[in-house]
Amino acid sequence: MSHHSGFVSIVGKPNVGKSTLINQLIGEKLSIVTPKVQTTRHRVYGIWNDENTQIIFSDTPGIIQNPAYELQEKMNDFVKESFEDADLILFITEFGEEKNPSEFLVKKLNSVKIPVIVLLNKVDKAKDASTISESVAFWHNQLPNAEILPISALHTLNTELILPKIKSLLPEMPPYYDKEQFTTLSERFFVNETVREKILLNYQKEIPYSVEVVTESFKEEDHIIRIESTIYVERNTQKGILIGHKGQKIQKVGTEARLDLEKFFNKKIFLNLYVKVKKDWRSNDRDLKNFGYTNK
């Protein structure tokens, strides 16, 4: 029996449900999910396997219309790069987005020579079926060559239709990765992202967007993993806010991250967090490169 494999890039504007969907399809928490925009900063790879298929999903940052920092430019570059190595594009839009679609994404999706599936997400928010039909008609007009599927990633509405549709469109190829593998990313990446997720959930305003997390040490023993991670901020004032009175706020972040990491790694975790200042790192090319914001 033939085997089909391919790379599927998930693209869309910020906060439309890309990360929620990839986590659901893979069955693992690969991408962090928060109500805040720009939660995803890197391309996050998840691998779905069955006997005759391997799908390598790439979750991308939400496209930013007017980047304010070099960091946001790099995030947009990840999205543009994702079009170059994909065998299929999943464009996730949300119900109501037709009022302000991304001109860049619409233009790009109309120019690609590979299959495009539009996932009209969050249709559970629609008042009735007629408004969903109007939204579907809008996207048919915008992307006439794409197939459109109304879904709700959060409530698993129609999501069972996605994998069979992707499988039918992938090229005949042997698997690219070991069949037991569900991601190409390192353990340290998941530590960094888990800590950053807790910062996004526990702080407001500029703080969550001013931090970067780097895991300096990841030592796995028989019954415990010992981890040391540094949280970088741009200002001394941000450092004080992040740590909080008598270290209470950073301790809360560490506890919440540790609990999630213990579930993810299925092992006891010892997590030490440090906070350092790296001034204006979001606009510094060298810092961005050191933090992994580079394009292939």
Nearest to 9 by CA among 115, 132, 127: 115
Residue 98 is encoded by which pair of tokens?
A: 């037709």
- Say which amino acid occupies 173: M
pLDDT at 29: 83
pLDDT tens-digit map of 32-88: 888 777 788 888 889 999 999 999 999 888 888 888 889 989 988 888 888 888 999
Q: What is the predicted pLDDT for the residue at 1?
A: 76
- Residues contacting 37, CB < 8 A, separation 6+: 14, 15, 62
pLDDT at 25 over 70: yes
Across residues 216-245, what is the average pLDDT? 96
Q: Token digits for 147?
A: 């197939």
Q: Residue 120: which residues within 8 A CB-CB, separation 6 or more?
A: 93, 94, 95, 132, 135, 136, 139, 148, 149, 150, 151
| Structure confidence at residue 295 (pLDDT) | 58
Q: Region 78-106: what's the mean pLDDT?
A: 90
pTM, to two decimals: 0.87
pLDDT score of 170 more than 80:
yes
- Cα–Cα distance, 25 to 92 (Å, whole number): 14
pLDDT at 296 over 60: no
Say how far apart CA 21 and CA 200 lie, in whole Å.
Answer: 19
pLDDT, tens digit (0-9, with 9 covering 90-100), for 271-283: 999 999 999 999 9
State residue 117's pLDDT score.
Answer: 97
User: Cβ distance 98 to 125 under 8 Å?
Assistant: no
Q: What is the mean pLDDT of the chain?
A: 92
Helix (H) or strand (E) holding 80, with range, is helix 70-84
At 119-144, the pLDDT tens digits run: 999 999 888 889 999 999 999 999 99
Q: Retrieve residue 168's tokens.
A: 């039918």
> Is the separation of the CB atoms in 295 and 81 below 8 Å?
yes
The residue type at 138: F
**pLDDT at position 9:** 93
Question: What was the pLDDT predicted at 109?
Answer: 94
- The rounded distance, in Å, linking the Cα atoms of 62 and 83 is 14
Q: Spell out a b/e string for 48-58, using b for 16 or more CB atoms within 10 Å of the CB, else e.
A: bbeeebbbbbb
